[in-house]
């Protein structure tokens, strides 16, 4: 019996309103402005280039180790590579907001996602956000801005848990948080980490392709929109209630 739905954040619940280049350019602009206010002389091009280099390097480390590298560590490496020396550790905290600004202000919900969450909640389904995310507070802020935070029974961000999807532990942790089992759970995500991770622990996996999702590991369902996902879950529920 399906009692629980896990869902991914980026590419599944939200997506960027702008191109990748525009997204990182906006981030670089915000970070450069803060550094200038802090008294550091920086050039936009240097900030932009360093942000991209650090992100690409750390994403390789994240993918290889499945250990999450949180925002503060990424900012430390960014400042080092930019050649900025600082004594005030509070600078890292102050940089968090401009760094995460595009995640909060340049994203939008994927069509049908919010309606899907509300429908599942109305059906009595438990909901858990399971996200590879380097800054949990920003994840929560976006969910609150979308007015869906209260719909979730649990929000699991990899920066707080320490490990990333597809590591089985983050899925087992989510199951424990909502008191569910793999056979009772469906996970919706848009990439290999979602599908492989879910299936490794026996959770049904739905690949959401509506925002360009793809996976090498075959999912239990490929869906182009949330109507297909909702219909799949509803069909599973109907099967369970049919008399034998």
Spatial distance between the Cα atoms of 213 and 236, rounded to a whole number of angstroms: 23
In this predicted structure, the answer to whether residue 40 has a pLDDT above a threshold of 70 is: yes
Look over the chain and give the mean of its residue pLDDT values, rounded to a whole number: 96
Tens of pLDDT, residues 101-128: 999 999 999 999 999 999 999 999 999 9
Closest C-alpha to 215, from 187, 176, 244, 177: 187
Spatial distance between the Cα atoms of 49 and 136, rounded to a whole number of angstroms: 25
What phi and psi values does residue 112 have, to the nearest 5 degrees?
A: 90, -15
Q: What is this structure's pTM?
A: 0.94
Residue pair 128/156 in contact by the 8 Å Cβ criterion: yes
- Domain 4-16+108-241 fold: Rossmann fold (3.40.50)
Spatial distance between the Cα atoms of 70 and 54, rounded to a whole number of angstroms: 13
Res. 243 pLDDT band, cuts 50 70 90: low
What phi and psi values does residue 205 have, to the nearest 5 degrees?
A: -120, 130
Residue 119 CB partners (closer than 8 Å, separation 6+): 230
In the chain, where the domains are located: 4-16+108-241, 20-105
Tens of pLDDT, residues 177-197: 999 999 999 999 999 999 999
Q: What is the pLDDT of residue 242?
A: 55
């Amino acid at each position: 019996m399906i009692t629980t739905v896990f869902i991914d954040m980026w590419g599944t619940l939200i997506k960027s309103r702008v191109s990748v280049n525009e997204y990182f350019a906006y981030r670089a602009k915000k970070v450069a402005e803060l550094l200038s206010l802090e008294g550091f002389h920086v050039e936009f091009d240097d900030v932009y280039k360093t942000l991209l280099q650090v992100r690409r390097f750390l994403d390789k480390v994240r993918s290889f180790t499945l250990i999450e590298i949180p925002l503060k560590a990424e900012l430390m490496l960014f400042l080092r590579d930019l050649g900025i020396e600082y004594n005030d550790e509070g600078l890292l905290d102050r940089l968090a907001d401009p760094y995460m600004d595009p995640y909060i202000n340049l994203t939008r919900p994927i069509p049908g996602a919010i309606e899907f969450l509300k429908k599942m909640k109305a059906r009595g389904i438990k909901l858990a956000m399971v996200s590879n995310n380097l800054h949990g507070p920003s994840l929560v802020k976006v969910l609150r801005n979308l007015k869906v935070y209260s719909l979730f029974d649990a929000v699991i961000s990899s920066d707080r848990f320490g490990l990333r999807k597809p590591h089985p532990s983050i899925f087992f942790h989510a199951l424990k948080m909502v008191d569910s089992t793999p056979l009772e759970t469906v996970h919706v995500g848009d990439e290999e980490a979602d599908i492989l991770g879910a299936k490794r622990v026996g959770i049904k996996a739905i690949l959401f392709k509506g925002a360009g999702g793809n996976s090498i590991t075959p999912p239990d369902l490929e869906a182009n929109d949330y109507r297909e996902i909702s219909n799949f879950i509803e069909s599973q529920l109907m099967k369970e209630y049919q008399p034998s």
